[in-house]
Every structure is written in structure tokens, then in C-alpha cells.
Chain A
Amino acid sequence: MPDLGVVTTQFFTCHEPPHELKLKSGERLGPITIAYETYGQLNADKSNAILVFHSLTSDAHAAGYHEGDKKPGWWNTMIGPGKAFDTDKYFVICANVLGGCKGSTGPASTNPKTGRPYGLSFPVITVEDMVVVQKQLIDHLGISTLLNVAGGSMGGLMALEWSIKYPESLRSCIAIATNTRHTAQQIALHEVARRAIMSDPDWENGDYYGKSIPARGMAVARMIGHITYMSEKSMDEKFGRKLMKKEKLGYDFSTDFEVESYLNYRGESFVQRFDANSYLYLSKALDYFDITAEKTSLTEAFAPAKCPFLVISFSSDWLYPPYQSKQMVKALKANDLDVSAILIDSSYGHDAFLIEVENQSKVVSHFLQRFI
């Protein structure tokens, strides 16, 4: 299928002082800049807009190519002409989250009060704060009602948050490989990643900008992340016990296995493209996520939601296991909502939402078709 071609990132700034955003934590933050991209054309009555949310370490560049780049955006297989999020029909928007490091305001941004990067003086943010900021962007684009919000993983949490926070301005919601509250295991895995970063001497309490970055901690954090994104089966299929550029075991601590080499490579390349403090803030925001907080049940938490839902999970996803999607579906049904749900058989683990394009495209495109 054809791609979108060259796309560019745009920027929108809101909450200029004295109109700072009051965050969930009670702290105030402003100005806030949001990096975003759009694909396709907004129709005359502005009724064909879809807001796609990215996962933890992705960005606003969801599809198409940046000038001179060889690699397309992170969901290029799903967004484009004739694809699941068909840009011939829909106007697709993707924005880098608040707290991110790909153009939106985050801990690596310059604090206008000090002229230096925020670092740890950046306030702790929540998924709700991220959603609130993206609502400002949608308002700025003059869109009163979104045809759909969609996202996988962290993006799925944001889609769910949107569905209960802004039900009046939403016609459908797609939640993929996600959850309604982070569980102890999910929090634990994040905490290990955070500790890896924070115990790197180069982290320096988050004040490493302009100096050496906490590369070793970041790499370990990413390695843990990658393990959780795959499944035992997909790792075994990809690497097995294959050795890395050697015929026999080295009997030392150099790299023996291909899987070690792969994780090291992933860890090191991540260091180049992501900010360590952003990783801390965003992973914390996910761990704080619990739509049942201040509610007596999941059913009650979804009570404000109005639109039809599509819930997708993957059989081998152990980071956001299918049973969590099932609980979500149950609560949505208990609220008499129109729910479609599918458990896609896949061996790719949590990463399946980026890889299982064919089956995922089928359900997404047919679901969206109902709202044109």
C-alpha cells in the first residue's frame, strides 16, 4: 500500500503564564508546547478527525517519512492511504505526550524561569494531564468532536482516559493491548527500569544536561523494557540459543548469545534517542494510572463513557495480559455500551500491536467504517 510521503512535525503552545495548567498533582505548569503531526485532510464539517496516542517511548511521528529519513513513523503500517486508519477518509492526528522528549514540553525542556532544563524540577505528571493537554490541541484545531481516539499500550490508557473525561466530544474509542490500572507487576517492572537509570552515577539527580548522559542506566532500562515487550515464544523463535559470531561458548563474560547482543544493541540505540528523565516521568505516570481510583468499581469508572468501544488484546502479551482487556470489556458491557472485542492469536507478545498489522487492520478499519 502507498505511504504518506514526507510529513513534518508542527508545534502548538498553550498555557502561557499566567494561564498555567493546574496538574493533577496540584502543581502548575506553563507554557506547554505540544509537537504533533497530521495526516489526511480535515473535512468541511470537521467530523473525520482521529486522535492516535503513542506508546511510552514513541513520538508524534506516527506515519510517513521525515525529510531525508529512511525509516517511517512508528505506526506507518496502520496509518496511510488505504490502510486501517485510512488517510483518504480520515484526518489523523498524533501528538507527543506531555513529559515526552520529542518536541513536547518535558523534563529536558528549558524552564523559562531559570533558562535551564527542568530536570527533576519538572512536576510529576499523570495520564490525565497528558490527555488534558491534547484536548487543548484538538480545540486549537477547531475540532469539537473526534470520530475516534485510538492507542496501544500507554496510548490505550490515554484513549480510555479520554473516553471517560471527554465523552461528549468522542464518537468511538479503540483500546489496544492496554489496561485500566497498572498492576503490581507492571509497576515493579517500571521500578526496576527507573532504579537502573537513577543508580547510574551520570544521572546526577536528573541534572545531566550538557554533561554525560546516564547511558548505562538507560540501556539497562531499555533492555528490561524489551524483554517485557516480547514473549518467550517470540524470543525463542527469533534467537533461540544461537551464538553471536562464534562457534562455541566463550567461557567468559563477553557476548555469547544473539539475544544478548540484540538487547545490548537495543539498549545502546535507545540512549541516543530518548531522554532518561522523560523515561522516569512517563513510566511514573503509567504507574499512577488507575481509572478506578476514587471509584468503587471498574463499572462505575466507565459510567461517564458513552461511545462504542473496540478492545484488542494479544494472546502472548504478558505485560498487558488479555484477561485485563476482558475485565475492561465486562465493565463496559455492564454500562450498556456497544463493545467489540477481539483476542488476536499472536506470538509477538506486547509488541504485537505494532507487528500484527493484517488482523488488527481488519478489525480497526471495519470498526471505524461504522462512524463515517
Chain B
Amino acid sequence: MRVDHKLIVETVKENSKVLDLGCGDGSLLALLIKEKKAHASGIEINEQAIYEAMAKGVSVSHGDIDTGLEDYSSKRFDYVILNESLQEVLHPKKVILEALRVGKRVIVGIPNFCHLGARLQIFFSGRVPMTKGLPYEWYDTPNLRFLSIKDFRIFCRDHDITIVRECGIANNKRIKMFANLFANTGLYLLEKK
């Protein structure tokens, strides 16, 4: 199992209402339904991914994350998940704040664009990094936003968002220390009073 999915499943309490933004083929939601009896639904923009998600018995609605959240009433979900989708949205700040409005807690997974491997590539090759986790050429990438774990912490601080928990992940394993240097992915549990 993907370690980020494992960590998310561990975080979510039983019978919770969960919304996964950019749920893809619905793997995570299906896992949450199976393991945590979650009342799970998702938003996804890719038509083919929706067919796969629906085959897993997940409720998915076709739409983009940037505008999809305004449909929901406040604090309607126990958790809103933005796993590996935030870097693809046009207005990340708006989306995170909206997610915190409709969800009591928000789980965010971000790719760390400033881990050691990426830094070394920039330094030695003088090129924008391409790694296993970030395999795209600059001219052909779904990623609109490039951020690091440190950037995300600063964003939360500046917007009065409480980081309840932070986990760094590299090579499908949890990183205990120096996440901004060694983690490919940062996973956050957020709250806003």
C-alpha cells in the first residue's frame, strides 16, 4: 500500500464524511470506505478516471477543484483531502481556505520541490529538476505550482492555519527528520478555527 494512503487511512476516524478533491481513480476513497466505513465522495476532472472510481463504488462528481467547493455548505465534511492535487490548481490559497470551510479538518499532500535530489540537480545541471516523483518537462506538466515543505509551513502560519500533524515521505517511507531536505512528499493534517 502507498504510505501516504496508509497514513491518511490511519488519520481518518471511523464513519467520517470524507471529500477527496482530485480523487483520480478513487483508490484512496475505496480504501477509506473499506477500512473506515467512511461516507466518501470525490471530485475529479478526468472523465476516464471517473469511470474507474465509480467502478469502485465511489460517488464522484465531474468538476474542477478550483470551483467545485462552492457547492458545499460549511463544515459539511469531517475531512477534505487534497492529496497530490494542490500543485495542479489555479488558486491554491482559495482552494485550501475553501477546503477548511467545508471540512472540519483538511488533509493535504504536497510534492516537495526542494528535496535534496532536486536541489542537487538545479545546482549541478543548472536545469529545472526532473525526478521520479516529478517526471515532467517544464513545457508539458500538469503542475502549476512549485512549493516546498517549508513554503507550505510558512503559508499555514501566515493564514492562521493550524498544522495538527506533518509527515515527510520519501521512497514510500516516512521521514523522521529534516523533511524539507529529504522528503519527496509532505502530508499535513490542518485545522482552522
Do B41 and A366 touch across chains, with their CB atoms under 8 A apart?
no
Residues on B with C-beta less than 8 A from A370 are 57
Residue-wise, chain B 127-159 has the 8 Å CB interface mask toward A (1 for contact) of: 000000000000000000000000000000000
Do B59 and A339 touch across chains, with their CB atoms under 8 A apart?
yes
Do B71 and A338 touch across chains, with their CB atoms under 8 A apart?
no
Do B57 and A363 touch across chains, with their CB atoms under 8 A apart?
no
Closest to B76 in A: A336
Q: A345 interface residue, CB < 8 Å from B?
A: yes
Residue-wise, chain A 332-343 has the 8 Å CB interface mask toward B (1 for contact) of: 011010111111
Known: A334-B72, A336-B76, A338-B41. A363 touches B51 (CB 8 A): yes
Closest to A322 in B: B62
Do B61 and A339 touch across chains, with their CB atoms under 8 A apart?
yes
Do B71 and A366 touch across chains, with their CB atoms under 8 A apart?
no
Distance between Cα atoms of A370 and B30 in the complex (Å): 13
Do B47 and A330 touch across chains, with their CB atoms under 8 A apart?
no
Residues on A with C-beta less than 8 A from B81 are none
Q: B55 interface residue, CB < 8 Å from A?
A: yes
Contact of A366 (CB < 8 Å), options: B39, B57, B62 = B57
Q: B7 interface residue, CB < 8 Å from A?
A: no
Distance between Cα atoms of A308 and B59 in the complex (Å): 9
Residue-wise, chain A 305-334 has the 8 Å CB interface mask toward B (1 for contact) of: 000100100000000000000100110011
Residues on B with C-beta less than 8 A from A363 are 50-51, 54
Distance between Cα atoms of A221 and B55 in the complex (Å): 41
| Other 13 A-B pairs with CB < 8 A, given A329-B61, A341-B63 | A311-B61, A333-B61, A334-B72, A341-B61, A341-B62, A342-B47, A342-B50, A342-B60, A345-B47, A362-B54, A363-B51, A366-B54, A369-B57
Interface of B toward A, CB cutoff 8 Å: 39, 41, 47, 50-51, 54-55, 57, 59-63, 71-73, 76
